[in-house]
Amino acid sequence: MQIGSLHSQKNPNAYWINHSGFWLTYFTIIAILHFSLMSIPFFSTAVAWTLTNALHSFSSYLAFHFVKGAPFDTESVDEGAMKFRTHWEQIDKGKQMTWTKKMLIVVPVILFILASFYTEYAINHSIVNMIALLVGVLPKLPQFHLVRFFGINEF
């Protein structure tokens, strides 16, 4: 009898993101980030919202689209195919436009709208917020599934 040889059919690298506890934690981290930035005395409200938007977009890019591989053994589930995929490509078994993926696209858009409103559409903040929006949304679109630009992160 082999102990510990049974595996679930869920990818342990990505199935946790579909639970309500993830969303509570995700929004709490964003709120803590924003309130931490607001507590810095020399940051205005506009700077705090722009930094919240930019830090969220760039950190989500790194977490979902840059890091590849599988920290857990998934050989029995997918025969090792996930070793060469980003975290975003592993979510929901690679299906596009699921509820989870739509929500992860909506969050940067909402942060962009809030940041734009609180910066009163100042041009310098708008440029930073627009770049952050592009970094936060473009890689999540179905057209960019399994796409690697300039050979970056290909292997």
**19 found inside a domain:** yes
- Please count the structural domains in the chain: 1
Half-sphere exposure of residue 118, counting CA atoms within 13 Å on the CB side?
19
Reading the chain (155 residues) residue by residue, the pLDDT tens digits are 455 555 556 677 777 888 889 999 999 999 999 999 999 999 999 999 999 999 999 999 999 988 887 766 656 556 666 777 888 888 888 888 999 999 999 999 999 999 999 999 999 999 999 999 999 999 999 888 777 766 666 65
Answer yes or no: is 153 within a domain: no
Q: Please report the DSSP string for 72-104 in residue order.
A: S--HHHHTTGGGGSBHHHHGGGG-SS-HHHHHH
pTM given for the model: 0.85
Residue 58 placed within a domain: yes
Domain span at 70? 15-142
- On whether residue 1 sits in a domain, the answer given is no
Could you tell me if residue 41 is inside a domain? yes
Is residue 73 domain-resident? yes
User: Would you state the structure tokens that stand for residue 126, as one six-digit string?
Assistant: 């708008």
Q: Does residue 2 belong to any structural domain of this protein?
A: no
Q: Please give the full DSSP string across 104-149, using - where no structure is assigned.
A: HHHHHHHHHHHHHHHTTT-HHHHHHHHHHHHHHHGGGSGGGTT--G
Cα angle 65, 53, 102 (rounded to 5 degrees) comes to: 50
9 is a domain residue: no
